Amino acid sequence: MINKALEVLNKYYGYSSFRKGQEKIIEEILNGRDTVAIMPTGGGKSICYQIPALLLEGVTLVISPLISLMKDQVDSIKELGVEAAYINSSLSSNEIVIILDKLKNGQLKIIYVAPERLESNSFITLMREINISQVAIDEAHCVSQWGHDFRTSYRNIKGFIKSLNKRPIVSAFTATATEEVREDIVTLLNLKNPKVFIQGFDRENLKIDVLKGINKKDFLLNYVRENSELSGIIYTATRNEADKVYEALLSRGYSVGRYHAGLSESERTVNQEAFVYDKVNLMVATNAFGMGIDKPNIRYVIHYNMPKNIESYYQEIGRAGRDGEKSECILLFSPSDVHTQKYIIDVGTNNPERKINEYKKLKQIMDFVHCNSCLREYILTYFGEESPGECNNCSNCNLEGELIDKTIDAQKVLSCVYRMSRPYGVNMIIDVLRGSQNKKLLDLRLNELSTYGIMKSYSKENLKEFINTLTAHSFLESVEGEYPVIKLNQKSIEVLKSKEKVIFKEPKKVERLVVNNDLFENLRALRTQLAAAEGVPPYIIFGDTSLKEMSTRYPITMEQFLDISGVGEVKANKYGEQFIKEIISYTEKNNIEVSWNFKKDIKTPSGSKKNSPYNSEEALVDKVQDNKTEDFNKKTPKLNKEKSFEITINMIKNNKSLGQIAVEREIAVTTVLSHITEFLKEGNSLDFPVDFTGVFDEQVEALVMEAIKEVGASKLKPIKERVPEHITYDQIKGVILKNFSE
């Protein structure tokens, strides 16, 4: 059976081998045994139940918690040529009737439903008449009240399965489950002697950073500026924080959406689809967003606030890098995050036993934030997995940033807290250290302390950040209550006695995560165009990993195209010609000689193996020396000779703004500006209007022009040094093109 599973994997999914752990899980299900699989996000859980669904007689019923997950999964499956559907509250009664009729008539192989559907007597009655071969339970941790996302509706699954005339194979999947939760999954779903697979929690492609005591807003804006063309999620603890971050990014012209429970359902749906369909690059959201989002090209996840527990944190960062590409996960911590999460627990948790458990989990993630050892090792240990030691891919292992001795400044703060005699809040401590004249301070005669005004050189904001950093590193202790106060601890005394130093590091320098080539951008633009025509997210056409492989290997025949990871027969038949055409155009334009090594056993789109010298060990290389040979012309479509920059110029002449062009062509603003420069280098002039909307506004233009008056427009760096930090090189280039190009 496993050989047939491999054939299905190659034919439908375009892969020649299974990922780690998938084969054994699939084999267990095909042998008719109940299965529990704990697999990291992005590890390919869906393939583990979809391939058995295609090989087993009857229908596979997938129980899934979110509407968005169902839609994405079904869109992906149907794109492979498999009949699938979902039933949830987003459908009308007529649409549900049509789907149920297809189910009765044996026209579906996979059907997704929400756990609440199992409460419907009419649905249960129908399911008794259907040959259900497998019940696959996604996000199975939801069945346990000790899990981080408990849903009472998951408790209905056990009774539903028992009510069926014939018990199907039951498979349960999740990405995050402690030993306690795993035991609940087996017991509460009434699994029969299941094989439990723990494929590991490690996501080696994810870089994990925890940054304490920095200016969150400045860091975030700097980071997004450097990676504005990439997809990312920014998580906040509250709706109010989400709105603030969203407005800050939107006001600076970034492509951003937001998602939280304070928005209407329709607005949340629109915003989520805009992100999934690559219409916006950034999503600012609370933890209400993300479960079931299959978008594979999310390059970073930033937690603007500390989450409530390790499970939530690990599930949320798991939304980055699902395609296996290197991605970054950054947690920005401040002590106020702890107060926020405690408030959320107090207000939102009524069950006393569960509340105690939530506090325990909050303490565990606080320990994670403050730990000095490898962050990845801490997480793996938490989930009961042995760690090989330092990962060299987290902020604790790498210790990025310059180490600075802040002992003297720390002693000033600690001495002030000591001399204030009783605990005060952070703001009062700041006022004393900066020499404030506020009435309350004077009434308390705190201006008479020897530490009064000794840190005037610090701004109020910077001093607050410094005190928060001291607290985050446990050099001070924050005492909870309606009005939190600061007091000394044993570590404070050690610093005051000069027995311990305070060494902090400067914030890490933000760097670009990914640099892609022009062909990759061209293929992304083609993918976006095809996805828009079909009404599906772009990644369903092909993932970024497939496009990157195309952009470096240059497949220019159908046989070569099928050798790309993620390209199966159905997609090759459907899209191959258009992508090959784009690749050939690029290789001709750039005089690229194509060499080709086959990586996998290729089948032609008709399904038969390709009998060619390319599959023999003696001839693994196909060198295309002449793009005009008879064989080449038979296999390839007619080329479009229009240059890339000419397309941009024509769009400008058609009154498209530069921002619109970047979005529609799926290229960076930098590339759009370079196209204008390329146009000018060929001896042309801008004798037509150019709309710079999306690059800069009037305020930015005025600031750049003011700097140009001082240093001229011949070099960018002197201008950059004289304008505010948020103004980018692209904006400077745009202003120069507008005002100094003939």
* Chain segment 312-367, per-residue pLDDT in tens: 898 899 889 888 888 999 999 987 888 888 888 888 777 777 787 888 788 788 87
Domain C-terminal end among 581, 608, 635 = 635
pLDDT score for 637: 37
Q: Which H or E run includes 443? A: helix 439-443
| 49 lies in some domain | yes
235 and 378 belong to one structural domain:
yes
Burial 524-547 (b: 16+ CB within 10 A, else e): bbbbbebbeeeebbbbbbbbbbbb
In the predicted structure, residue 622 carries a pLDDT above the cut 60: no
Amino acid symbol at 124? I
Q: What is the CATH number of the domain that holds 218?
A: 3.40.50.300
pLDDT (0 to 100) of residue 198: 83
Query: The domain that contains 498 carries what CATH number?
Result: 1.10.10.10
Give the count of domains, the chain: 4
Same domain, 184 and 212: no
CATH number at residue 543: 1.10.150.80
Identify the top-confidence range among 351-365, 379-393, 528-542, 623-637: 528-542
Classify residue 684: in a domain, yes or no: no
Q: Which distant-in-sequence residues (6+ apart) come within 8 Å of 702 by Cβ?
A: none
Query: 99 and 52, same structural domain?
Result: yes
Q: Which residues contact 523 (CB under 8 A, 6 or more apart)?
A: 547, 550, 551, 579, 582, 583
Confidence of residue 311 (pLDDT cuts 50, 70, 90): confident
Residues 135 and 216 in one domain: no
* 452 and 526 inside one domain: no
Shared-domain flag, residues 338 and 433: no
> Domain check: are 210 and 335 in the same one?
yes
pLDDT tens for each residue of 123-165: 889 899 899 999 999 888 888 866 556 778 888 899 999 999 9
Q: Residue 703: inside a domain, yes or no?
A: no
> Would you list the DSSP string of 28-63?
HHHTT--EEEE--TTS-HHHHHHHHHHHSSSEEEEE
- Lowest mean pLDDT across 269-273, 515-519, 589-593: 515-519
CA distances to 58, 373, 374, 384 from 377, in Å: 43, 8, 5, 11
Alpha carbon distance 619, 713 (integer Å): 56
251 belongs to a structural domain: yes
Q: CB–CB of 502/474 below 8 Å?
A: no
Q: How far apart are CA 556 and CA 734, in angstroms?
A: 36
User: Is residue 193 located within the same domain as residue 215?
Assistant: no
Q: What is the SS3 string spanning 239-252?
A: HHHHHHHHHHHHCC
* pLDDT average, residue stretch 290-305: 83
333 and 409 together in one domain: no
pLDDT tens digit sequence for 551-569: 888 888 888 888 888 888 8
The residue that leads in pLDDT, 432 or 563, is 432
Q: Would 305 be classed as within a structural domain?
A: yes
**699: which residues sit within 8 A by CB, 6+ positions away?**
none
Task: Say if strands 403-405 and 503-505 run parallel, antiparallel, or are unpaired.
Answer: antiparallel
Are 415 and 523 in a shared domain?
A: no
Span 362-373, average pLDDT: 79
Which residue, 168, 198, 228, sits at the end of a domain?
198
pLDDT score recorded for residue 505: 61
Task: Provide, rounded to the nearest whole percent, the portion of the chain with pLDDT above 70.
Answer: 87
Give the domain-ending residue among 635, 657, 692.
Answer: 635
In a domain, 733, yes or no: no
Provide mean pLDDT across the span 445-473: 86
Tell me if 667 is assigned to some domain. Answer: no
Location of structure tokens 């439908």 = 12
- Same-domain status, 215 and 184: no
Q: Per-residue pLDDT tens for 64-81? A: 887 767 887 888 888 888
Please answer whether residues 664 and 656 qualify as being in contact, where contact means their C-beta atoms are separated by less than 8 angstroms: yes
Residues 534 and 610 reside in one and the same domain: yes
Query: What pTM does this model have?
Result: 0.54
- Containing domain of residue 153, as a range? 2-198
DSSP element (H, E) containing 86:
strand 84-87
CA distance 658 to 695: 7
The chain-wide mean pLDDT, for the chain, equals 82
647: in domain: no
Bridge partners of 59, per DSSP, are 132
